[in-house]
């Protein structure tokens, strides 16, 4: 029998998903995982009752978190992913043949094993790729002692509650920057600005203190209700955000990747912010 599952992340707004079938409902060491099937979104994963990913629209979020900074950089060989246990971001990153190593730091081993079993349509064979170095650890601890340097650091975190809360602090951002090679780029998920404006404001305040070039860009992910989603951007090389359309198109062709949302024109347009978002990061 189907039932409705409500997400109540926001105090004055909720969204509901019809759960045609519950596939999994259990607690790991860190959080409660629920997986259910929905007629529009396919398999939907929630952690502590907050939607994390869905089979049908995950490509939007993961493509924009992965391909935009990789193609903006233009010469990525090493990537650090913090979080992202569902494997969707990892799968997109590994599409780039130029990448030699990806270190993924995930706090919850249970999420990774769960995803390999139940969300194979999202992570595919990513966790079997020999370029992956999977580290089960707290992301804050990892960046604090990180000796390697990465061209890109991607933070695919949950919302700033529970285990993900520490990934939205000035301390974490400063340590994450120290993991970057010269000219590197840090990109973070920063929620839906219309409903979570303080999250973006606080993150960009920290980015402006740490980076010569701090900004954000947007993408619309249907299951993340409340308007477009923001991604924080930080780099000490301002030219990375100023790469022109012709260069991006050539890099995109050379990459050989196949995308459903990302393209070079969307890449450039994503940095064009509506006034209400721009005012949050002044």
Q: Give burial (CB, 10 Å; 0-12/13-18/19+) of 100.
A: exposed
Among the listed residues 57, 86, 108, 156, the single catalytic one is: 156
Residue 84's nearest CA partner among 158, 166, 177, 172 is 158
Torsion-angle region of residue 158: left (phi > 0), alpha (psi -120 to 50) or beta?
beta
CA gap 129, 132 in Å, rounded: 6
| 113 Cβ contact list (under 8 Å, min separation 6) | none
User: Distance between alpha carbon 39 and the CA centroid of its chain, in Å?
Assistant: 25
Judged by DSSP in three states, 44 sits in strand
Q: Distances in Å between the alpha carbon of 281 and those of 18, 92, 167, 239, 254?
A: 36, 28, 19, 20, 34
Residue corresponding to tokens 């990774």 = 112
- Catalytic, 156? Answer yes
- Backbone phi and psi for residue 2, each to the nearest 5 degrees, phi listed first: -80, 155
Residue corresponding to tokens 């629920």 = 34
- Bridge pairing between strands 180-189 and 150-156: parallel
Element containing residue 134 per DSSP (H, E):
strand 132-136
- The residues carrying an active-site annotation are 156
């Amino acid at each position: 029998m189907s039932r409705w599952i409500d997400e109540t992340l926001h105090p004055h707004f909720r969204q509901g998903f019809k759960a045609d079938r519950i596939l999994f409902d259990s607690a790991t060491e860190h959080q409660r995982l629920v997986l259910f099937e929905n007629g529009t979104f396919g398999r939907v994963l929630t952690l502590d009752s907050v939607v994390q990913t869905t089979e049908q629209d995950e490509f939007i979020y993961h493509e924009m978190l992965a391909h935009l900074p990789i193609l903006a950089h233009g010469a990525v060989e090493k990537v650090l992913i913090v979080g992202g246990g569902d494997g969707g971001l990892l799968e997109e990153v590994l599409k780039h043949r130029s990448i030699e190593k990806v270190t993924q730091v995930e706090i919850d081993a249970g999420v990774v094993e769960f995803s390999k079993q139940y969300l194979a349509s999202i992570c595919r064979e990513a966790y079997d790729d020999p370029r992956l170095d999977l580290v089960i650890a707290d992301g804050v601890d990892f960046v604090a002692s990180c000796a390697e340097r990465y061209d890109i650091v991607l933070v695919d975190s949950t919302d700033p509650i529970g285990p993900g809360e520490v990934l939205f602090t000035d301390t974490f951002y400063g340590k994450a920057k120290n993991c970057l090679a010269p000219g590197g780029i840090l990109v973070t998920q920063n929620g839906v600005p219309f409903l979570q404006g303080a999250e973006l404001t606080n993150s960009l305040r920290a980015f402006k203190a740490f980076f010569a070039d701090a900004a954000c860009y947007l993408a619309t992910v249907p299951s993340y209700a409340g308007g477009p989603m923001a991604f924080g951007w930080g780099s000490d090389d301002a030219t990375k955000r100023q790469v022109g359309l012709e260069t991006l198109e050539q890099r995109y062709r050379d990459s050989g990747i196949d995308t459903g949302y990302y393209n070079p024109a969307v890449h450039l347009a994503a940095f064009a912010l509506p006034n209400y978002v721009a005012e949050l990061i002044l």
